Amino acid sequence: MRVLVDNLKEGCILTDDVLGKTNRPIMSKKTVLSDYLIEILKTFLIKEVEVEKTLVNGTPFYAPVAGEDKKAALQSNDSERNFIDLFLRAKQDFKKEFISWQSGMQIDIAKVRSIIVPLIEQTDMTSSDIFNLHHYSSKSEYLYDHPLAVGIISAFIAKKLQYSKGDVTQIALAGCLSDCGMAKISPSIINKNSTLTVDEFEEIKKHPTYSYQMVKNSPLLKEATKIAILHHHERMDGSGYPFGEKANRIHPFAKILAVADSFHAMTSERIYKPKHSPFKVLEMINEELFGEFDIAALKALSAAIMNYSIGTKIRLSDGQAAEIIFVEEKNPARPLVRLLESDQILALVKNRHLHIEEIIQ
């Protein structure tokens, strides 16, 4: 919806680029606004912007609509929600559940299922939604953003791997509950804004075991789902935890969770680690972390990039806008592109200093 900049509040999410006098945006769509960024918009004399109807914390954003959006707002149906709107609202429900676990309450698996299933069955969900989830993750809400996103991404991968509907749901639940054991970790460790000590990290590494203990007696979860929760930080080369399991000793469900968990974590802004572009992360996982992850699960996630057809508009890491003109199957994250400003043809596979930052159309 279009609103006046004066009516914005911290946590609003831009749905369109905010353009200045040049072709490059002052701020790109999906930016989560802080008070500082709102002041920058005012400094550039921006009067109106397009934002989501939901704040990044999942609560509705109420503000008078502006300009041409007024008529559309009067005709809109509030029951119509897009995928991101559903995700942000679901996050509020999940947050309530997580806080209850921190207070010692048992997990209500049926409630968690009612939160995640509408998201994974959303017919409007696309690979673009998967690659944009990280935009809606914040440092302060990461404990609640991350498990929900891992459940969604895990289900997306499972669907690509042709799992049955029942297994897709169980895998989504495993992703959503994989970090429930974090509720047993001291908040002073979870919320620490500097590098963890060795002892603190050892405590964090106990969370898969805590998670398993919290769900092991639930009749609503398959045994495979429970094992996946326990194994989601294991790695194919044996470098993971809590047991250092290798390859075929790691449950297939857990191999999916491992890819989803690492992908979302690396693309999200965390308390002591910066976020990276989803396209950059896929390259990092394929190159720097090669051997740690299941190839089939990784390919299923990477293949989503191939859905971006010729003509898709992107923004590069240096801020330039470009159009994809050819995607090579071996390097889907590094297509041949045409720079919109100069018409120059650029092969990203030969320009390693650049990477795709995001899809803009």
Q: Which residues of 87-121 are buried (b: 16+ CB within 10 A; e: fewer)?
A: bbbbbbbbbebbeebeeeeebebeebbebbbebbe
Q: CB of 129 within 8 A of CB of 155? A: no
Look at 44 and 179; give whichever has higher pLDDT: 179
| Kind and range of the H or E run holding 75 | helix 69-75
The DSSP string of 126-162 is -HHHHHHGGGG--TTTHHHHHHHHHHHHHHHHHHHTT
- Cα 324 to Cα 343, 344, 348, 359, 361: the distances in Å are 12, 12, 10, 10, 11
Q: CB of 221 within 8 A of CB of 231? A: no
Residue extents of the structural domains in the chain? 2-75, 83-304, 309-359
pLDDT value at 65 more than 70? yes
In angstroms, the CA 354 to CA 26 distance is 20
Residue whose C-alpha is closest to residue 257's, from 163, 160, 157, 112: 157
Q: Is 177 exposed, middle or buried (0-12, 13-18, 19+ CB in 10 A)?
A: buried
Coil, strand, or helix at residue 343? coil
DSSP code of residue 308: S
pLDDT digits (tens, 9 = 90+) for 246-272: 999 999 999 999 999 999 999 887 766
pLDDT value at 51 more than 60? yes
Mean pLDDT of 188-198: 89
pLDDT value at 292 more than 80? yes
Q: Is 198 exposed, middle or buried (0-12, 13-18, 19+ CB in 10 A)?
A: exposed
Query: 309 pLDDT band (50/70/90 cuts)?
Result: low
- Report CA 165 to chain centroid distance, whole Å: 22
- Residue 289, CA atoms < 13 Å, CB-side half-sphere: 21
Mean pLDDT of 214-226: 97
Look at 182 and 274; give whichever has higher pLDDT: 182
The hierarchical CATH code for the domain 83-304 is 1.10.3210.10
Look at 70 and 113; give whichever has higher pLDDT: 113
pLDDT value at 195 more than 90? no
pLDDT digits (tens, 9 = 90+) for 80-116: 357 888 899 999 999 999 999 999 999 999 999 999 9
- Report CA 270 to chain centroid distance, whole Å: 12
In angstroms, the CA 173 to CA 151 distance is 6
The percent of residues above 70 in pLDDT, for the chain, comes to: 91
Mean pLDDT of 279-285: 86
In angstroms, the CA 234 to CA 147 distance is 17
Residue whose C-alpha is closest to residue 235's, from 250, 215, 225, 220: 250
Mean pLDDT of 317-346: 89
**Domain at 2-75, CATH homologous superfamily:** Molybdopterin biosynthesis moea protein, domain 2 (3.90.105.10)
pLDDT for residue 306: 63
pLDDT for residue 146: 94
